[in-house]
Amino acid sequence: MKATDAARRHTTPLTNPAYAPVVPRFTDREYLNIVYRTDVDALRAVVPEPLEIDEPLVRFEVMRMGDVSGYGPYTEAGQAIPVRLGDERGEYLHAMHLDNFPATASGREVSAYPKTVGAPRLYVDHGALVGTLDYGTLRVATATMGYKHHPLDLAEAREQIAVPTFMLKIVPGYDGRPRVAELVRTRITDVTVKQAWTGPARLQLFEHVLAPLADLPVREVVSASHVLTDLTLAPVTPVHDYLEAS
């Protein structure tokens, strides 16, 4: 293989790429979102500057992807933290657990999504929408919401899932020091909200050293939503370079 051909490859392994060179389109992406109040000191310990916290809130999410170009169906769960950068409000992605390797590798390498392994599920059980996350054989989170109790305004649902998203991109060099250390921003585009519901909800988080969601403990459930949508992920844009600032 010529050097010019090798340089045009987008991912390793060279002859068996970890993910497809596509911009994924999500069809029938189903969300269970539970916003809860937590400890402000716990949030300050994990949210990087220059992001700021106005309220000690966390959004726990479970997302079942009905169909995704390049990846196929899969499920994802994690935590997002409402933050502010200057005058812009958005969310900082804190944790993401997936059951699909190509989607995990692509999100971590190309962008900065904090993705790792896990076994999330989203299903209906005796009138409750249930979202769970297991890490290995152990339960990490259990969320329940009344199934389609009250309609949610579609515009409000769209606003919930299309807020600006901030992530921390860290790429180490061969000497162990960071070669890239940036705060990046993205935003979901081409959003079509098909259904949206709200209702009562509960959330339990369980301690696990490799999936420490419970480090942001649940003090009060604030709101919940169940949303079905189509959407596209936009590329990320750097908004702060930690290496230049140091």
Question: Which positions are catalytic?
Answer: 115
Rounded Cα distance between 233 and 223, Å, is: 25
Q: What is the DSSP string of 115-139?
A: EEE-EEEEEEETTEEEEEEEETTEE
Contact 188, 90 (CB under 8 A): no
Helices (H), ranges, 136-193: 154-161
How far, in Å, CA of 65 to CA of 25, rounded?
A: 10
Task: Give the E-state strand segments of the chain in sequence order.
Answer: 25-37, 57-68, 74-85, 88-98, 115-117, 119-125, 128-135, 138-146, 150-151, 165-172, 178-186, 188-198, 201-205, 220-233, 237-241
Got the DSSP string for 194-223?
EEEEE--EEEEE---TTS-GGGS--SEEEE
User: Residues 6 or more apart from 2 whose CB is under 8 A from it?
Assistant: none
